[in-house]
Structures are given as structure tokens and as C-alpha cells.
Amino acid sequence: MSDNKDHGGFFDPGWRPSGDVHRDEDGRPHEHPGLQEDVGLGVRASRALAMHELLVEKGVLGENEVEEAIEAWSERVPSNGATLVAKAWADPEFKKRLLEHPKETVIESGFVPEHNADVIVLENTEDVQHMVVCTLCSCYPTALLGPPPDWYKSFSYRSRAVTEPRKVMSEFGLELEEETEVRVVDSNSELRFLVIPRRPEGTEGWSVEQLADLVNRNSMIGVAAATEPGTD
């Protein structure tokens, strides 16, 4: 972990396999010559579109069936991560286990990390704010948060998260105290991160289900705060 004075915090590139090898969503490895290129995205998108059109043409799928399934999945899966965060807020012993043995605890909770990747869980506090990025492509805890949002995959986010994380967070509505340390962590094909955001005040005695409703996707990436009670 190295101190990056430019953005007033730390940037942790984590462990990367030799050659900066990442994997496509289907698990096949690919290498990235540099941040400027999103290798293979056009090819994969074209292939998926052609397959979709063929299945619709053959009558295997309805015109909007795939889109509806993806939308339903996208809405459902982030609740996996939210459930873990809510349990951690409500149960100190569970939080301790989740922080110390994250992958095992995630699997015990019924969620399997994609490509058998390792998992690290980080807790945000008054003193430290963690923020997740994948500087080389879009490695992301899909099993816990669903598909990555477009902005997470963009070159703009992947670069600015490292150079000006506070400004990025402010664009998501999160303003930190000047003394709060910012730590930017870098996902890769072998490693995924889940952030436990700070628990909102006024939620003492809430059930796990109630707490989970306050945990939004962006807060588990670390670019935003959990939803305050009584707000949408």
C-alpha cells in the first residue's frame, strides 16, 4: 500500500497475477496493455447481440424476455450484499467473522464469489473511507452487487477514483470531513471487495430486514453513504 499525496489518501493496487491478467465475464483470461483500452468489450457485446437476435428469430426467446430477466436479476442481486452489511451492523460477532474470514462467511451465507475469487470486506468509519475501483477493467463482486454499473466500467471513473476520489464521492453526494482518510482499493481477477458503509444514526433496534433497505449499491462500492432513514 502506497501513500498517494495527490488525492489525500492511499491507493492499494492489491495483488495482481503476472502480466496483469484479468478475466472476461465468462472466465476467459485476457491481458490489458493499458488503461486506455477496454479489451474485448466490443467483441463480447457484438457476440451477445448476435446470439440474442438469433434466439428471438428462432422463437426461443421473446423480444423483451432477456431484458426483463436482466432487469429482475439486477434488482435482486444487490440485496445479497445488503443482507451481509445489515447482518454486520446488527450482529457484532457476524461482523467480526465477515471482516476476518470474508470469503468463508460469504459462502456460508449462500453466496458464491464469481470465478472463485477471493473476497476482502472493508469497514468504513469516521476515520477511514474505503472506495473500490478496478483500474484495468471492471472486476466487481457480481454475486453480491449484481452487474457493475456503466460508470464503474468507464475510463473516467477508473482513473479519477485514484487521482481525485474525494471529488468523485462528492459527485455521488458524499462529502467527507477533511481529517477522514481515504483508501482506494483496486479489484482484479483474483480479488473482489465489499465495503461496509457506516450505519445511519437512529437505527438502533432495527431488524436486519429494515437495515438492509438502507444499504444501497453505491455505498457498498464506497462512493456514497448508506440511505438515511425516511429518505428514498
Among 134, 187, 189, 219, which one carries the catalytic annotation?
A: 134
User: Scanning the structure block, which residue is given the C-alpha cell 453505491?
Assistant: 218
One of 18, 109, 139, 207 is an active-site residue; which one? Answer: 139
Residues 190 and 72: their CA atoms lie apart, in Å, by 27
CA distance 132 to 188: 11
Note if 74 is an active site residue: no
Selecting among 2, 18, 74, 137, the annotated active-site residue is 137
Give CA–CA dist 165/169, Å, rounded.
6
* Catalytic residue from among 2, 46, 74, 138: 138
The answer for residues whose C-beta is within 8 angstroms of residue 207's C-beta and 6 or more apart is: 90
- In terms of DSSP H, where are the helices of the chain? 41-57, 65-76, 78-90, 92-100, 102-108, 142-145, 150-153, 155-163, 165-171, 208-212, 217-221
Q: Is 137 among the catalytic positions? A: yes
Active site residues: 134, 137-139
